[in-house]
Amino acid sequence: MSIEEALRYLASLNVYGWRMGNARMTEFLRRAGNPQDQVRSFHVAGTNGKGSVTMMIAECLRAAGCSTGAYFSPYVYRVNERILLDSEPISDSDLARWITNLKPIADSLRDTEYGQVTEFEMKTAVAMCCFAEHNVNFSVLEVGLGGRLDATNVIVPQACAISSIGLDHMDRLGPTLSDIAYEKAGAIKPGRPVVIGPCGIEAETMIRSVAQIRQAPSFFVGHEVETEDDGNSNEYVKVCFDKHELIVRPAMVGRAQRSNAATAAATLWASGIGVTDQAIAEGIGKARLPGRFETVGDPVRLILDGAHNAQAAEELAANLKGYEVVFVVGMSKPHDPVGFLEPLTRISRQFVFVAADHPRAYSPAELQAAAKQLSVEGRVASSVRDGVRSALSEGIVVVTGSFYVVGECEEFRNG
């Protein structure tokens, strides 16, 4: 298949949705030769920040001289971003070739007890096959949704990280923090260490219980992993764990990136693979991902942030204190618009509501109606592009609510 044919085939798998459970993935990979067992790995779950932690761990490993593969969910601008080899996106030729190679195996499962492979399972299998083919020293895999029943949960990692726990995807993961923590703790493997970022006592209790049952050493940022930051400038965080004490300066901006950096550093230390403090500091200082409080222009005229739930909105609002901004917001169902918008209304009352080109997108009118519940009027735009263009004359524009919305801003990012 050409890359165009391969991407059309991937899109066709989307009609099968996102079915939880990993029995089919296990069989799919078995028929593909179990590539996931050929590479040492790290596993990263969490409500927010898991992509950042994944990238930080991968960059630290690279700084230590290791070849790495990293897998992300979702991408922002191009699907190739989901699979990185030594921080470079998978080539179109490799992506098309592996989809072509795996399609007959996926087709062979369609009429069995396992059923049709989903789009996410295919992408995950492509990543695992690619990492094995390139014989990387380590792979770092970001969970797609939850952990316990996620398609990535077929590996036995060196260590697991859980970046944070918050209320999101309650329709699939459960209505409480304890329920969500249980699902994400499903990524913990017997005897393998797990490092957990900010989560609150309810989630912490559940995760400690799961870790104890699995005899997995658990380390929580704020408890076993101590941090000290520089106050409000967001420039550095000092991380103390066991015999380690290290100051790191995250390349990615924002309050949450300090706890993400602590989680990444402690995960590497807990794994016992011998990554030096120098490599950790260097890697965290280089790790960047698009759409994570990404600034455009000098002086800044545009901020792109894929925040899409209330917890992430709180972090975004904290990072914007002192800014005069206009929000361009688009969201996807079933995320809660009122809960997401409320923290942002403390920063600005200027909103433009848009819809990304995505089947689950809220209409601009639906978002405007949600804002009215918070006594914010806002206005609607016919497209993301028009919304951003109209807002740029009014101040610094913050595009947020969904990575799909951020993904439609590439033209502004590049010029």
pLDDT tens for residues 140-166? 999 999 999 999 999 999 999 999 998
Average pLDDT score over residue span 226-244? 83
Is the same domain home to 78 and 209?
Answer: yes
Q: What is the pLDDT of residue 298?
A: 86
Q: What is the pLDDT of residue 112?
A: 94
Query: 260-281 in b/e burial notation, b at 16+ Cβ within 10 A?
Result: bbbbbbbbbbbbebebebebbb
Looking at residue 399, which CATH number applies to its domain? 3.90.190.20
Which amino acid, one-letter code, is at 130?
C
- How confident is the model over 369-411, as pLDDT tens digits? 999 999 999 999 999 999 999 999 999 999 999 999 999 999 9
- Which among 237, 266, 286 is the end of a domain? 286
- Cα dist from 39 to 24, 139, 174, whole Å: 21, 7, 33
339 pLDDT exceeds 70? yes
Q: What is the pLDDT of residue 167?
A: 82
Residue range(s) defining the domain that contains residue 122: 3-286
Q: Where are the alpha helices (DSSP H) in 110-156?
A: 119-133
pLDDT band at 414 (very low <50, low <70, confident <90, very high): confident
Is the same domain home to 229 and 374?
Answer: no
Beta bridge partners of 194: 160, 218
231 pLDDT exceeds 70? no
Give the helix, strand, coil percentages of the chain, each rounded to 5: 45, 15, 40
127 pLDDT exceeds 90? yes
**C-alpha–C-alpha distance, residues 398 and 320, integer Å:** 9
**C-alpha–C-alpha distance, residues 10 and 320, integer Å:** 38
Token look-up 């949705």 returns 17
229 pLDDT exceeds 90? no
Is the same domain home to 303 and 279?
Answer: no
pLDDT band at 288 (very low <50, low <70, confident <90, very high): very high
Tell me what the pLDDT averaged over the chain comes to.
95
Average pLDDT score over residue span 265-289? 98
Is the same domain home to 198 and 336?
Answer: no
For 364, counting Cβ atoms within 10 Å of its Cβ (0-12 exposed, 13-18 middle, 19+ buried), the class is buried
pLDDT band at 15 (very low <50, low <70, confident <90, very high): low
Is the same domain home to 239 and 321?
Answer: no
Is the same domain home to 315 and 267?
Answer: no
- Which among 234, 254, 286 is the end of a domain? 286
- How confident is the model over 18-77, as pLDDT tens digits? 667 899 999 999 999 999 999 999 999 999 999 999 999 999 999 999 999 999 998 999
- Cα dist from 250 to 16, 256, 260, 265, 283, whole Å: 39, 10, 9, 11, 9
Q: What is the pLDDT of residue 415?
A: 63
Q: Give the strand order in the sheet containing 226-229.
A: 226-229, 237-241, 244-248
Is the same domain home to 338 and 251?
Answer: no
Quote the number of domains for the chain. 2
Per DSSP, the chain holds a count of helices (H) and strands (E) of 16, 17
Structure tokens at 72: 């992300």
Q: What is the pLDDT of residue 48?
A: 94
- Which among 286, 311, 344 is the end of a domain? 286
288 in Cβ contact with 52 (< 8 Å):
no
299 in Cβ contact with 322 (< 8 Å):
no
Is the same domain home to 372 and 273?
Answer: no
Is the same domain home to 231 and 380?
Answer: no
Is the same domain home to 104 and 169?
Answer: yes
Q: What is the pLDDT of residue 14?
A: 74
Is the same domain home to 17 and 81?
Answer: yes
Looking at residue 282, which CATH number applies to its domain? 3.40.1190.10
Is the same domain home to 112 and 134?
Answer: yes
- How confident is the model over 179-224, as pLDDT tens digits? 999 999 999 999 999 999 999 999 999 999 999 999 999 999 999 9
